[in-house]
Structures are given as structure tokens and as C-alpha cells.
A = this chain, B = another copy of it.
Amino acid sequence: MYKEELKTKIDEYLKEYFLNKGSYNKTIYDSMGYSVNVGGKRIRPILMMLTYKMYKNECMSILPMACAIEMIHTYSLIHDDLPAMDNDDLRRGKPTNHKVFGEAVAILAGDSLLNEAMNVMFDYAVEHNKAETVKAAKLISNAAGAEGMIGGQIVDILGEGKEMTLDELKYMHKNKTGALIKAAILAGAVLGGASEDDIRKLDEFGEKLGLAFQIKDDILDVVGDEKKLGKKVHVDAEHDKNNYITFYGIDKCKKICSDLTNDCINLLSDIQKDSTELQDLTKFLLMREN
């Protein structure tokens, strides 16, 4: 399956990236590398590469841009796990960054991963001097910030122990998880030179896929297997967090998730390119157990 080959390439790039770097500052690379290479499905970079591949014959040329988005995702997990945030000891079955390196280093490692992602994107933009490159990087950067991922995180943090409105919950989900997933897809499309019409369809696809992904996460937090997930379950209930399950119950959530997946497949089928691999990935994300 092509997805697995891509994952291997992404894993290799990210492993190599943090090796044998630094001098007196070596610890920061060890700490960044630890969290980036502790595992993960690499969904965001794979989505970017498969979307790009619909428009070009290959997708290895955008590997650095794809890995930059994984660095951003990883930094958000390191900071999310901190004692002042979700206070998690385990992530992907391994001790969280601050459990291994201490809180101060974990804060700096998160900062540094976000910064490194930007370095990679600026490097790529200098190397490939095209307007599309900067546009794609801007999409990713915007999606990670206060009007995207961090916007969702702040609503999540402030909403603990309080009852949210459905609109607030939707805002949180759309941004906390959805924004970066959608940006991965759109960045791949922009880099690949997709038409405006295709970008509109992929925007809707990204929006729905991001939502399905987050609802599936909520479902797994209730019915998932701790060993397969590599992290504790029932975390949302413990932290008294709002999510789709608390609003709709588990059965309705499974239905919403499945309907969204169907919508995604229809949107992809409507694009006059070979979207088989993206469709397979979309179905895989619905069926996943971690």
C-alpha cells in the first residue's frame, strides 16, 4: 500500500533530521527528535503528499514541507501534555516529553519544533522561488495559529469543567484538529497547482475529514483500547471536557462519522483526477483503532 511507503519516507526524513545536530545545545535536538520519532500515523504529511500527487506524477519533492507540518503537530502534542495543560504521562505508549526531559526542556522543545517547521518552510521557499510555495507555507502557518489550532486549544482549555454551547464545541473541534488537517490538504493542492474549483472541493473535503477525525478521536477515547491507542482513555470525562459524545451520545457520533466519510468520498470522486489513494486513506481513518 502506497501510504505505508510514504510513512516510511516521512519517518526516515524526520529521524535523520534531528540526528548529529547541535553542540552545547544538543539536548534540544534530542528532545525534539524524541517526540517526533516516538511514533505516529503521519496523517497530515501523508494527506499533503497524496493531494499533491493527484496533480503531479510524484510527491517526494514536497517531503520537507510535509514533514514541517508533522513538526507542528508534534510540538502541539508536547505542549498539550505539559502539567499546566492536560498533564499526561503517556503518549503513543511512551513517556511524554516532559517526563523524559523535564518541563523546561519540554517547553523549549515544543517552541523549537514550531520554529523548526518554519525554518524548513522558509528554506524550501528560498530554494523553490515560487509564489505557490510561500502561499502554501502561509496556509500552514495560519492554520497552526490563533485563528486555527491554537484558537481551538484555548477554547478547549478554558472550557474544562464548563458546559459549552454546540457552536463553541464546533468551533473548538474545527480548529483544534481540523485546521491543520485541512491545511495539509490545501497546501498539497496549492503546491500541486490545483484549479480554484478543485481547491474549493478539497477545502470542503478537508473540513469534513478534520471533523470526522476529531469525532473518531472522541469515540476512541470512550470505547478505544488503551494498549492500541498508546495513551489513557476516558481522558475527556476525567478532565470534564466537552466533546461530541457528551452532546450526541456514542451511536449518533458513529453515524455522523460514517456520514462525513461518505461525503468525503463523494467530494473526492467529483474531482477529475485519480483520488484513489486519498479515498483509501479517508476510509482507513474511519476504521482506525488508534
| A→B interface (CB under 8 Å) | 21-25, 27-29, 32, 75, 79, 82, 84-85, 102-105, 107-108, 110-112, 114-116, 118-119, 122-123, 125-126, 129, 131, 134-135, 137-138, 141-142, 144-147, 150-155, 157-158, 168, 171-172, 175
By secondary structure, the A interface counts as helix
* Smallest Cβ-Cβ distance to A168: which chain B residue: B24
Which chain B residue shows the least CB distance to A159? B24
Q: Assess whether A138 is in contact with B126, with CB atoms less than 8 Å apart.
A: yes
Cα of A110 to Cα of B153 in the assembled complex, Å: 13
Q: Quick check: A107 and B123 within 8 Å, CB to CB?
A: no
Do B115 and A28 touch across chains, with their CB atoms under 8 A apart? no
Chain A to chain B contacts (Cβ below 8 Å), 13 pairs: A22-B147, A24-B151, A24-B171, A25-B150, A25-B171, A28-B150, A28-B151, A105-B158, A110-B111, A115-B150, A116-B146, A122-B138, A129-B134
Top 5 nearest A-B pairs by Cβ distance? A84-B103, A25-B151, A122-B138, A115-B145, A28-B154
Q: Across the two chains, which residue of chain B brings its CB closest to A120?
A: B141
Interface centre among A22, A135, A146 (most CB of B within 10 A): A146
Identify which of B32, B126, B146 contacts A29 (C-beta below 8 A): B146
Copies in the assembly, this chain: 2
Q: Judging by beta carbons under 8 Å apart, are A112 and B146 in contact? A: yes
- Please, how many angstroms separate the alpha-carbon atoms of A75 and B110 in the complex? 13
Q: Which residues of B contact A138 (CB under 8 A)?
A: 119, 122-123, 125-126
Residues of B within 8 A of A115 (CB): 114, 141, 144-146, 150
* Minimum CB–CB distance for A221 against chain B, Å: 20
A112:B150 contact, CB within 8 angstroms: yes
Chain B residues positioned under 8 Å from A85 (CB to CB): 104, 107
Say how far A117's CB is from chain B's closest CB, in angstroms: 9
Q: Say how far A190's CB is from chain B's closest CB, in angstroms.
A: 11
Contact B84 A146, beta carbon cutoff 8 Å: no
Is B108's CB under 8 angstroms from A154's CB?
Answer: yes
